[in-house]
């Protein structure tokens, strides 16, 4: 199963529609689920992703009370035998990475997904993958826009980060940045 992972779309302020490279990339990889890690800022953003695949999310610090109530701020999902923790990563102490680790401390998770920093990140911490997809619409200090793909097979997860330089460009499905298998 392939899962698309996005965060920090900040729509409609940062984009009026999903970037072509993101839409094309999600479709080219045949994602069967899209997970958003907060700061989508408008409820209609969920519908844009649902046109591609089923959608789930957690709310971020820039999402309103209705989005926080509907999606919650932290989730733990089990998909194809893989335990996936989801959090936005905002807070007062530490970095988004440290806060993501703290959000699932003591829990058996295979991958922790987080956002907030708009900075792509993908690395193992012990037996757990930590993945921040960056942002597909607001790269801030990152050189390119980004999103992540989780490939699930036989209870294992392989994450990859995918990048593009132009929000209006078509996707190159081979433009991912492979990460070693878990």
* pLDDT band per the 50, 70, 90 thresholds, residue 168: confident
Domains and CATH numbers, the chain: 6-161 (3.60.21.10)
Q: Find, among 132, 117, 146, 120, the residue nearest to 86 by Cα.
A: 132
- Mean pLDDT over 78-97 rounds to 95
* pLDDT band per the 50, 70, 90 thresholds, residue 11: confident
What is the DSSP secondary structure assignment for residue 20, as one 8-state letter? H
pLDDT at 75 over 50: yes
* 34-71 tens-digit pLDDT: 999 999 888 899 999 999 999 999 999 999 999 999 99
Q: Find, among 149, 166, 168, the residue nearest to 26 by Cα.
A: 149
DSSP string, 120-139: -EEEEETTEEEEE---SS--
Do the beta carbons of residue 104 and residue 28 sit within 8 Å? no
* Cβ contacts of 77 within 8 Å, gap of 6 or more: 35, 56, 83, 84, 86
Give the residue, 155 or 150, on which the prediction is more confident.
150
* pLDDT band per the 50, 70, 90 thresholds, residue 166: confident
* pLDDT band per the 50, 70, 90 thresholds, residue 72: very high
Distance between start and end Cα atoms, the chain: 15
């Amino acid at each position: 199963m392939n899962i698309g992972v996005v965060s920090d779309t900040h729509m409609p302020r940062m984009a009026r529609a999903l970037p072509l490279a993101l839409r094309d990339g999600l479709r080219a990889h045949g994602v069967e689920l899209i997970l958003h890690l907060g700061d989508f800022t408008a409820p209609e953003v969920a519908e844009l992703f649902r046109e591609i695949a089923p959608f789930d999310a957690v709310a971020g610090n820039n999402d309103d009370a209705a989005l926080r109530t509907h999606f919650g701020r932290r989730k733990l999902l089990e998909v194809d035998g893989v335990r996936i923790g989801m959090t936005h990563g905002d807070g007062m102490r530490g970095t988004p990475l440290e806060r993501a680790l703290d959000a699932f401390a003591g829990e058996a998770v295979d991958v922790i997904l987080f956002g907030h920093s708009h900075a792509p990140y993908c690395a193992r911490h012990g037996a757990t993958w930590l993945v921040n997809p960056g942002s597909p619409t607001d790269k801030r200090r990152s050189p390119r826009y980004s999103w992540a793909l989780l490939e699930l097979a036989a209870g294992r997860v392989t994450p990859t980060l995918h990048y593009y330089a132009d929000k209006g460009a078509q996707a190159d499905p081979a433009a991912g940045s492979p990460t070693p298998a878990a």
